[in-house]
Structure 1
Amino acid sequence: MNEHNPTAPAWPALRVADWTETRDTLHMWMQIVGKVRLSLSPLVNHWWQVTSYVTARGLGTGAIPYGTRALDIEFDFCSNRLHLRTSDGGAGEVALEPKSVAQFHAETMQALADLGIDVRIQPTPNEVEPAIPFAEDTVHCAYDPDAASLFWRQLVQADRVFRTFRSHFVGKVSPVHFFWGAMDLACTRFSGRSAPIHPGGAPNCGDWVMVEGYSHELSSCGFWPGGGEEGAFYSYSYPAPEGFAGFPVGPRDAFYSNEFQQFLLPYEAVRKAADPDATVLEFLQDTYRAAADLGNWDRSALECDPDRWDALR
């Protein structure tokens, strides 16, 4: 079990190259759990019903409806257990330790069955290539608990700052949530206008999935374990307005990636900054301005002051 360490840096270092095998295995495990929620939950716009959320111990699904009961599933990176809980007091767990995706899949489905949860999930992962069926995947089998914990701690910091950024928007905006398809934490703002039909193109993912996800004009930001030596913060717009790629944004380490078609800010630049929170917020606000100003969003109607009631509290 990971013990509390008050002297540990809030923004931990974790080189992507040092945990790639664990990352890829954990990604597949997260897809299995995410697909359970997908299978049992009614559709919410932009697939918001399938995501996970940062918790005080890891990543959790929140309550999933199952008949008159509720189920939640949590990756606990403090105890290295997958916890499964039901509203009638049922509980199960799966150890997070070196094991194949096939074994994790079998153990998770058995734990669900033991709780009386009858669910079938899509048998293959999305947004990855190759898409090895979960029940046959013995390739991905690494799990470094320290690396998993460090990644979660990165997410804790990103989640906290994203929540501050989200609080300044009164228009339609997503929760801060974790998408298991691309393994990224995201928050998305919307202009209120519909968008052109998305062309799709994500590997092993139907184009119609992207059509739903990008049905309305948006500015999206997030964090994922790629794009930099220690991961990266990102921001993009759909559709990207003319001049978006050339819009000046801060901080100085931020740049537009032609490869990814979005702005990136390496995590290591944030971690080393004198004020990491301010560094991320500058990136988020500047890249949002690029989308909103160039796209002629009605900013006065969409933005708000989260401190507007402080004087009356």
Structure 2
Amino acid sequence: MSDWPSLDFAADRPTIETAHLVLQMVGKLPTRLHPWVNHGWHVALRVTPRGFATRMMPAAKARDFAVEVDMRDGLVRAWCSHGGSWTTDIPGKTIAQLHADMSAMLEEADLPAPLHGAPNEMPDVIPFAADDRPREWDADAATRLHGAFAAADRVFSTFRSRYLGKSSPSHMFWGSFDLAVTRFSGRRAPPHPGGFPNLPDEVTREAYSHEVISAGFWPGGNGVDEAAFYAYAYPSPDDLSEGTIAPAAAYWHKDLGEFVLHYADVAAAGDPEAALMAFLHSSFDAAAARMDWPDDLATLQVSYGEPAQQI
């Protein structure tokens, strides 16, 4: 398989929607078990070789545990610092059935299981425990979807390493189902208007409490019905759309107020990593110049990103 597998949002959508809801359930755990980290970073999931996993979370009896959605084997896995791992399969189940199975799995392992609630950042939600709608899980689609996130994560992590200012990790937010990496100027931002469905405005305002230039990847939806990369700033300069962006396939999406580069254009490029990196750097430069970020901005960008061969 290519490092940049093919994606088809229309065909893969049923599996994408199932994965999104499973990740929402798993993502509820750190919201209720992990201390709050600035901008909600503690709830974001990290990309793993097989899927997406939580941070380490505390359990009773001086133990710690984590939960992973294994996209390649189609299961949810929990493992504990004191030994033991537990799994439950995803295919063939409704969200309500999976919610019950995950709760039982964690309780059997004597691990906390606060999986109650409903999805965030989605309209017209149904509580997990009551969602009996049929769900689909195509193993090939799930594997390709994870492969795309993993490829994006590699480039995002290198991009992050080239900035000495405050920057988020490359991490996946399960509410909107997007991988993101965010840079900060260090200055306060005006209060965000909020308005995301089924998400308290105070959460959004804390996430955007400071100026940001952010880039990310989503598998489709959110105004672009195919997998795409995006870049935006908050607060957004009025003339950001006039920025010069690379590669040539990238464009300004007026309705979203963001730069967009379709995943298919990256995957088809002679050097996909270079194409994506050009998009990340050019969108950052366009926003930083128009936002008058600190004068020492140039000194904050370095040439890290390669593993040390000797140390």
Q: Under TM normalisation by the shorter chain, which class is it? A: over 0.9
Pick one of 158, 161, 186 that aligns with 1:164: 158
Give the number of aligned pairs.
Answer: 306
How far apart are the structure 2 equivalents of 1:280 and 1:311? Answer: 25
Structure 2 residue 236 is the aligned partner of structure 1 residue 243: no
Contact 2:72 2:142 in 1 (8 A): no
Report the CA distance between 1:256 and its aligned residue: 1.0
Pick one of 206, 211, 216 that aligns with 2:205: 211
Runs (5+) with no aligned partner, structure 2: none
How far apart are the structure 2 equivalents of 1:204 and 1:102? Answer: 19
Deviates more, 1:121-130 or 1:183-192: 121-130
Runs (5+) with no aligned partner, structure 1: 1-7
Using the size of structure 1 for normalisation, the TM-score is 0.93
Correspondence for 2:177: 183
Alignment deviations for residues 189-211 of structure 1 (CA, whole Å, 9 cap, x no partner)? 00010100100011111111100
Correspondence for 1:27: 20
Letter in 2 for 1:258: K
Correspondence for 1:5: none
Alignment deviations for residues 249-270 of structure 1 (CA, whole Å, 9 cap, x no partner)? 1111111112212111000001
Letter in 2 for 1:281: M
Report the CA distance between 1:294 and its aligned residue: 0.8
Structure 2 residue 152 is the aligned partner of structure 1 residue 154: no
Contact 1:247 1:290 in 2 (8 A): yes
Correspondence for 1:287: 283
Matches within 5 A, 1:269-284: 269-284=265-280
How far apart are the structure 2 equivalents of 1:154 and 1:92? Answer: 27
Runs of 4+, deviation exceeding 3 Å: 227-230, 307-313
Contact 1:256 1:264 in 2 (8 A): yes
Report the CA distance between 1:311 and its aligned residue: 10
Letter in 2 for 1:59: F
Deviates more, 1:274-283 or 1:94-103: 94-103
Across the aligned residues of Structure 1 and Structure 2, the Cα RMSD in angstroms comes to 1.8
Correspondence for 2:252: 256
How far apart are the structure 1 equivalents of 2:276 and 2:306? Answer: 23
How far apart are the structure 1 equivalents of 2:306 and 2:108? Answer: 49
Structure 2 residue 95 is the aligned partner of structure 1 residue 101: yes
Matches within 5 A, 1:66-85: 66-67=59-60, 68-85=62-79
Contact 1:60 1:73 in 2 (8 A): yes
Letter in 1 for 2:41: W
Structure 2 residue 227 is the aligned partner of structure 1 residue 231: yes
Alignment deviations for residues 3-56 of structure 1 (CA, whole Å, 9 cap, x no partner)? xxxxx2111111100111111111111000000121100100000000111111
